């Protein structure tokens, strides 16, 4: 006669299997939640760590030597000079083909830069410093330069863009591999009819234009302060308006 009686505990096997499956699912959920929380914590830490290490590179473009001091092409240098004076930053350290100085502006760490490569090779200096200090050009680079399409007294802020015919910006784009960096254009006026462009941008302002340009330099300083503290849009709204003709 066949014994059909189940072995002791056989009735408990389905329940045991179900219990083990539930335990496994719970363990997987706990492990997943633990890994996710670690990921989030690390992401937040890395983001905060990056912010703590963040340093802005503010580069004003121009040509070295006294011959070009205060010329139209050197208004970028002039803005850097005013920033350096206002925040007591010594821009006399000669390295990476530039004059530069580190300091703090509106609570943000900055590196002020005046490339000494002459205008058309400005990117060599900028790229070297970006690499040396591990600065992200698309987040932490601000370039200030002259623009003949703007009248003296006007400035124009852009978050990115092409060189627009400016050789200094063209070289920065070529050397950094991106055109997605912030910039402030300072108006120096169009060249007079019949003039050579080089003669115009390497020339000095007349007395009337000098007054307007000094105002624009002050506005560029204020715009730079706003931009490094995350107020680029507000700066654009404030300054990207043509000065009304008097």
Q: For 181-201, how does the pLDDT look when each residue is reduced to its tens digit (9 = 90+)? A: 999 999 999 988 888 888 999
Element (H, E) at 245: none
pTM of the entire structure? 0.78
56 bridge partner residues: 110
- Structure confidence at residue 50 (pLDDT): 47
> Is 73 labeled as catalytic in the residue annotation?
yes
For the segment 124-147, the average pLDDT, to the nearest whole number, is 96
- Over residues 88-116, the pLDDT tens digits come to 999 999 999 999 999 999 999 999 999 99
Helix (H, G, I), strand (E, B) or coil at 155: strand
- The tens digit of pLDDT for each residue in 15-64 reads 777 777 777 777 776 766 665 565 555 544 444 444 556 899 999 999 99
Tell me how far CA of residue 238 lies from CA of 82, 189, 222, 227, in angstroms.
20, 21, 10, 12
Q: What CA–CA distance (Å, rounded) separates 142 from 87? A: 17
Q: Among the options 31, 43, 49, 73, which is catalytic?
A: 73
Distance of alpha carbon 80 from alpha carbon 84, whole angstroms? 6
pLDDT at residue 1 tops 80: no
Q: Classify 171 in phi/psi space as left (phi over 0), alpha (psi -120 to 50) or beta.
A: alpha
């Amino acid at each position: 006669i066949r014994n059909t009686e189940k072995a002791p505990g056989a009735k408990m096997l389905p329940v045991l299997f179900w219990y083990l499956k539930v335990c496994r699912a719970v363990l997987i959920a706990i492990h997943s939640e633990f890994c996710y929380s670690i990921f989030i914590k690390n992401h937040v830490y890395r983001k905060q760590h990056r912010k703590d290490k963040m340093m802005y590179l503010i580069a004003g473009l121009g040509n070295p030597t006294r011959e070009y001091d205060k010329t139209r092409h050197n208004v970028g240098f002039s803005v850097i000079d005013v920033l350096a004076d206002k925040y007591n930053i010594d821009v006399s350290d000669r390295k990476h083909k530039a004059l530069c100085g580190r300091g703090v502006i509106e609570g943000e760490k900055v590196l002020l830069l005046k490339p000494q490569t002459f205008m058309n090779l400005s990117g060599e200096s900028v790229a070297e410093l970006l690499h040396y200090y591990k600065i992200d050009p698309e987040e932490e680079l601000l370039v200030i330069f002259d623009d003949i399409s703007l009248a003296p007294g006007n400035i124009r802020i852009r978050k990115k863009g092409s060189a627009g015919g400016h050789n200094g910006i063209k070289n920065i784009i070529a050397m950094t591999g991106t055109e997605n960096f912030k910039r402030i254009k300072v108006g120096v006026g169009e060249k007079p009819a019949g003039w050579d462009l080089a003669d115009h941008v390497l020339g000095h302002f007349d007395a009337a234009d000098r007054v307007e340009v000094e105002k624009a330099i002050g506005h560029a300083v204020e715009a730079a302060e706003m931009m490094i503290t995350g107020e680029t849009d507000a700066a654009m709204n404030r300054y990207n308006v043509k000065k009304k003709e008097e």
